[in-house]
A and B are shown apart, each in its own frame.
Chain A
């Protein structure tokens, strides 16, 4: 009996991995979009480098991070933009809800939440994989002071990879909450724009969180959005270390679990009251 349940579990994980795989395969075929995105990210990255250099030169004491940490932050942010950009939502899912193709999704023996999670994570991963390498390689070869440093030691590198995955999880869990909200609304446009612009600020994508003035900084660090790019990108260059880091990773985990739980609960309610209109 027990064996049977493990077999079933295995099969059910395989389902979601299958979604992941297909979405990933689909994502990596959009080469032109990737090339265009990369150009933008290079330009944006260099622009940021020069702006922060000017800041730093005018008063190094007022600069809240090491300059090399800042460079790592900028280049990683550009390379993994697609991991963490909350404005890049999966339009396919909004379309499903708006045009009613959700009917088909509901006819499948799968959990809607898990399926969306798998699809979303795959979508972000496929986009990032296509774009990250040229940016990372260039950033590692740039002349000082713009070069991106390597992590201090292997432990830091492992922590970076782990918190990147967790950060992706937090981002996806947040986006799914927005998808689910659109079940309850005629149009999701408004809430999308409102939420994503707020999050863009609070996650440290416009300005890194250390640059925010107190007490705003303390508050923002407690929010779920600090667990997106802020944590892994600062762990990479050891800007975030010691007890401060332990606390940040703990918070990241806490928000991840909370948002997934909330999402699954809301998804169940939404499934109950879903109305697929027309033909």
Chain B
């Protein structure tokens, strides 16, 4: 069970105007602006749920994931993941969760993938039979047989992402955070990744929280969607709820009368972003 209550987080950003003169001025005096990445975010996610966490760039999606995985400390508010406060005891917490950052890599660049996996076995103190069992299952489901002996640098993005996901699941976490897992993948890899996540959730009852800009991911995977914008939760419901919400704003010139159901998911989301002034 994951609960977040009234979580706020702001970053300080140094700003200055263009030009040499301004740059020199900034040497002595920096103008610092506070940016509120999260202001008063609250939600609850039950065990075994699969939740899509969406919103435009800069909405605060990644910040939320980072707080839940113990990397960031929020300014205020409370957060419990299975009773643990993620940032209070980072090491204990991360033992129980899996995280995939779609834009980063956790595999060692110059060595075969299997070496990175063996390291993870020791890091998470996974027993040998358990490790072999999990590896076999993951290899099977994600079709990694050919990839394990290849150095990471020689894998394609899709191949690498499959290995990244396997790496995050070797220790059988009961919660998995996926931060844009399908970014940059081709159709085949995307489908393979989606299919795998679905099976993982069904067979192992793993709680999955997924951030993405790909609405098809959301449609294929999740019942529940949390929409976040400018650091606030704007909507917590199903995709159908979103469609309904959009239809309330008939004044939007982008929505042609009466054919809301013809709009693609991306168009609906774009309308929603515009209407809520978070685009």
Contact = CB atoms under 8 A, between A and B. Distances in A.
A116 to B, nearest CB: 14
A103 B102 CA distance: 12
Interface string B96-135: 0101011111101011000110110011110000000000
Most central of A14, A106, A272, A276 by chain B CB within 10 Å: A106
Interface in B64-114: 66, 69-73, 90-92, 94-95, 97, 99, 101-106, 108, 110-111
Nearest to B98: A107
A18 B115 CA distance: 10
Nearest to B105: A101
Given A26-B110, A279-B103, A15 B123 contact: yes
A107 B99 contact: yes
A15 B120 CA distance: 9
A121 B179 CA distance: 33
A11 B125 contact: yes
Contacts of A274: 71-72
Interface string A100-129: 110110111111000000000000000000
B236 interface: no
A22 B71 contact: no
B108 A271 contact: no
B90 A271 contact: yes
A111 B102 CA distance: 24
B123 A107 contact: no
B49 interface: no
A103 to B, nearest CB: 6
Contacts of A17: 122
A106 B123 contact: no
Interface in A1-46: 11, 14-15, 17-19, 22, 25-26, 29
A37 B92 CA distance: 43
A104 B123 contact: no
A25 B110 CA distance: 10
A257 interface: no
A198 interface: no
B122 A14 contact: yes
A108 B91 CA distance: 7
Given A108-B94, A276-B71, A22 B180 contact: no
Contacts of A22: 108, 111, 115-116, 118-119
B71 A109 contact: no
Contacts of B111: 22, 25-26
A100 B116 CA distance: 19
Nearest to B11: A275
Contacts of A100: 104
A176 B119 CA distance: 22
B91 A107 contact: no
Contacts of A272: 73
B62 interface: yes
Given A26-B111, A109-B91, A103 B66 contact: yes
14 contacts: A15-B125, A22-B111, A22-B119, A101-B106, A104-B99, A106-B70, A107-B69, A107-B70, A107-B71, A109-B95, A276-B66, A278-B62, A279-B62, A279-B102
Given A106-B69, A279-B101, 19 more contacts: A18-B122, A22-B108, A22-B119, A25-B111, A26-B108, A26-B111, A99-B104, A103-B66, A103-B104, A104-B101, A104-B105, A107-B69, A107-B97, A107-B99, A110-B123, A273-B73, A274-B72, A279-B62, A279-B180
Kindly list the 7 A-B residue pairs having the minimum CB-CB distance in the complex, ordered from nearest: A18-B122, A109-B95, A104-B106, A279-B103, A11-B125, A106-B71, A109-B91
